[in-house]
Amino acid sequence: MFLEVNVTKKFPDIICHAAFSLENKQCGVFGPSGSGKSTLMHMLAGLLEPDSGFIRLNGRTLFDHEQKISLPPDRRRVGVVFQHAHLFPHMSVQRNLFYGMNRLPKQERNINSDHLIKVLRIDQLLNRNVTKLSGGERQRVALGRTILANPQLILLDEPLSGLDSTLKYQIIPQLQQVFAEFSIPMLFISHSLQELRMMTEEVLVMQQGKLAQQLATEELARTSFGTGGQGYTNLLHLDAMEDLGKLLSCRWGSIPMMLVKAPDQRPGEFSLNGRDIILFKKHPDASSARNMLSCTVRRTYETNWLVGVELDCKGQTLIAEIVPQSVEELNIRPGKEVVAVFKASAFRRLY
């Protein structure tokens, strides 16, 4: 994908302006409510015409104010998945899915529909009425319908914000699999940095109608703007779960870890706040914490009133956040060997 954008839209109370180019297939748009995320999405999709500028996708002009070009939405090859699925209520799941594809010439139908339906896990829903679907099922059907229309770009506008946390983290792995397997470029629009970290590699940051930053998603996650003052959240995939009575043994890559026992003992994604990690110069003689990892400091960076310490733990990356005085006392610097210590109760399951 190569997307070039330079657009301006004036409203009575705000001017929305964004100028950027993208080659990354998995990009996000981040910002609080009212920052201009959805306005940008509507301009890209052709649902709102900019007052000036241009939009080009893969060298094809979708909008150019000076040349008086403004392609309608159905000619842009840009698919949209909204927060609310907007399925056709009088149609079955199957008819909804194939609505866009059936309007395409056969030579433009490049997606294997049977495989997509299987990946989205909606093969058992095809004959159902869409009014009988759960929120998560509706979003998967809406995504499938959009993909089968063979777009060159998919815009996902807060697609998970209407779902509860459990359902949200059940859908994310399916979204990851779909976009990985079918290699479809996307812009994932969200005010949730955690969702963006799981779905994107690069992010556009919108503030007060303007594009404020364009950077790697993980870099944004390490800033005070990205953390919202709550501290950096490490995302860890833990597997090889083993019941040890009141604790669970598991592995983070090749590293053994301990978790507090919970009813759900499946492998999955877990979060660990950087402020829950304590650093020691050497392995402590005794501690109530069950996890003690030997690590090497890669680098440090400032984050509001704390210092982020990026650690290499046998090839895995862990971020601890400590006060500046501790950096001096422990002589934290690149190449320094330290021990990262945290409790078995510090983890939170995402999915």
What is the pLDDT, as a whole number, of residue 311? 98
Q: Are 137 and 190 in contact (CB under 8 A)?
A: no
User: What is the CATH classification number for the domain harbouring 335?
Assistant: 2.40.50.100
* Rounded Cα gap, residues 147 and 7, in angstroms: 26
Please check whether residues 186 and 55 belong to one and the same domain. yes
Q: Are 2 and 59 in contact (CB under 8 A)?
A: yes
* Rounded Cα gap, residues 250 and 243, in angstroms: 9
pLDDT category, 326, cuts 50, 70, 90?
very high
What is the pLDDT, as a whole number, of residue 9? 97
- Which conformational region is residue 14 in: left (phi greater than 0), alpha (psi within -120 to 50 degrees), or beta? beta
Please check whether residues 215 and 258 belong to one and the same domain. no
Question: Is 19 domain-assigned?
Answer: yes
pTM above 0.75, yes or no: yes
Please check whether residues 202 and 249 belong to one and the same domain. no
Q: Rounded mean pLDDT of 216-238?
A: 85
Please check whether residues 66 and 201 belong to one and the same domain. yes
* Listed residues 188, 221, 254: the one ending a domain: 221
* Listed residues 167, 197, 221: the one ending a domain: 221
How buried is residue 78: exposed, middle or buried, by Cβ count under 10 Å (0-12/13-18/19+)?
A: buried
Question: Is 226 domain-assigned?
Answer: no
Q: What are phi and psi of 30, to 5 degrees?
A: -120, 145
* Rounded Cα gap, residues 148 and 165, in angstroms: 28
* Rounded Cα gap, residues 63 and 205, in angstroms: 22
Please check whether residues 153 and 64 belong to one and the same domain. yes
Tokens coding 121: 């896990």
Q: Are 183 and 11 in contact (CB under 8 A)?
A: no
C-alpha 135, offset from chain centre: 19
* Listed residues 198, 221, 244: the one ending a domain: 221
Please check whether residues 238 and 214 belong to one and the same domain. no
Strands (E) across 117-276 are located at 153-157, 186-190, 202-207, 210-216, 233-243, 247-252, 255-260, 268-273
What is the pLDDT, as a whole number, of residue 227? 67
- pLDDT digits 0-9 by tens, 24-73: 899 999 998 889 999 999 999 999 999 999 999 999 999 999 999 999 99
* Rounded Cα gap, residues 336 and 314, in angstroms: 14
Distances from the Cα of 69 to the Cαs of 10, 42, 53, 339, 343, in angstroms? 19, 16, 11, 60, 59
Tokens coding 187: 């812009």
C-alpha 27, offset from chain centre: 8
Please check whether residues 46 and 135 belong to one and the same domain. yes
- pLDDT digits 0-9 by tens, 145-174: 999 998 999 999 988 877 777 777 778 888
Question: Is 206 domain-assigned?
Answer: yes
User: What is the CATH classification number for the domain harbouring 78?
Assistant: 3.40.50.300
Please check whether residues 18 and 163 belong to one and the same domain. yes
pLDDT category, 4, cuts 50, 70, 90?
very high
- pLDDT digits 0-9 by tens, 69-105: 999 999 999 999 987 778 999 999 999 999 988 888 8
Place of tokens 């680098």: 299
Q: Evaluate if residue 124 carries a pLDDT over 70.
A: yes
pLDDT category, 107, cuts 50, 70, 90?
confident
Q: Evaluate if residue 339 carries a pLDDT over 70.
A: yes
Distances from the Cα of 79 to the Cαs of 6, 146, 149, 191, 199, in angstroms? 20, 6, 8, 20, 17
* Rounded Cα gap, residues 214 and 3, in angstroms: 14
Alpha helices in 82-185 (DSSP H): 93-97, 113-119, 135-148, 165-182
What is the pLDDT, as a whole number, of residue 314? 95
Question: Is 288 domain-assigned?
Answer: yes
Q: Evaluate if residue 299 carries a pLDDT over 70.
A: yes
Question: Is 227 domain-assigned?
Answer: no
More confident residue, 251 or 177: 251
Question: Is 83 domain-assigned?
Answer: yes
What is the pLDDT, as a whole number, of residue 303? 81
Please check whether residues 214 and 243 belong to one and the same domain. no
Tokens coding 247: 């604790």
pLDDT category, 226, cuts 50, 70, 90?
low
Question: Is 51 domain-assigned?
Answer: yes
Q: What is the residue range of 16's domain?
A: 3-221
Tokens coding 12: 């009575």
Edge-to-edge order in the sheet of strand 306-313: 278-280, 337-342, 291-303, 306-313, 316-322
Say how many domains are in the chain: 2
Please check whether residues 210 and 66 belong to one and the same domain. yes
Amino acid at 112: N
Mean per-residue pLDDT of the chain: 92
Please check whether residues 182 and 287 belong to one and the same domain. no
Q: Are 260 and 345 in contact (CB under 8 A)?
A: yes
Question: Is 312 domain-assigned?
Answer: yes
Please check whether residues 192 and 251 belong to one and the same domain. no
* Rounded Cα gap, residues 290 and 284, in angstroms: 12
Selection from 60, 62, 155, 146 nearest residue 111 by Cα: 146
Selection from 251, 290, 285, 298 nearest residue 270 by Cα: 251
